[in-house]
Amino acid sequence: MAEQVHSITGAAQGITDDQAPRTRRYLISMGIRTACVIAAIIVPGWPRWVLIAGAVILPYVAVVAANAGRSRQRQPAPTASIPLRPELPAPRSLPPQ
C-alpha cells in the first residue's frame, strides 16, 4: 500500500512528472514526421508535396508543443493559524528628576 504524502508548500509539480507527457508528445510528432518523409518517397503526384510540407512544418510544431511551459496547477497557499498575542502595554513615563 502506497504511503500518502501531504504537501506542505505551494510548490509546483516536479520537473520529472512534467517532462514525461511533453516527451511523449514530441516523440509522437517526430514519428508522424518520419512517416511523412517515407510516404513522400513512395507516393507520387500532389500528395507528395503535402507530405513534404508536413515533414518540414512538423519539427517546428513539435518543438513549440514540447517547450510550451509547464502546466500550472494553482494550489491554494498553505494556511497556518497564527495565535493572537495580546498588545503590549504603553511605556510608562519616567518620573521627573
Q: Are 38 and 12 in contact (CB under 8 A)?
A: no
Taking all residues of the chain, what is their mean pLDDT, rounded to a whole number?
78
Q: Which residue bears the cell 513534404? A: 52
In this predicted model, which residue has the larger pLDDT, 5 or 93? 93
pLDDT for residue 43: 92
Structural domain includes residue 41: yes
CA–CA separation, 29 and 55 (whole Å): 10
Cβ density class 46-66: b for 16+ within 10 Å, e for less? eeeeebeebbeebeeebeeeb
- Give the mean pLDDT of 70-87: 61
Q: Taking the CA atoms of the chain, what radius of gyration do you get in angstroms?
A: 30
Examine residue 9 and state whether it is found in any structural domain, yes or no. Answer: no
Q: Is residue 84 part of a domain?
A: no
22-37 confidence digits (pLDDT tens)? 888 888 888 999 999 9
Question: Residue 83 has what pLDDT?
Answer: 65
Q: Is residue 55 included in any domain, yes or no? A: yes
Domain coverage including residue 29:
17-67
Instruction: Please give the model's pTM, rounded to 2 decimal places.
Output: 0.55
Query: Can you read off the three cell numbers belonging to residue 63?
Result: 518543438
Domains: count for the chain: 1
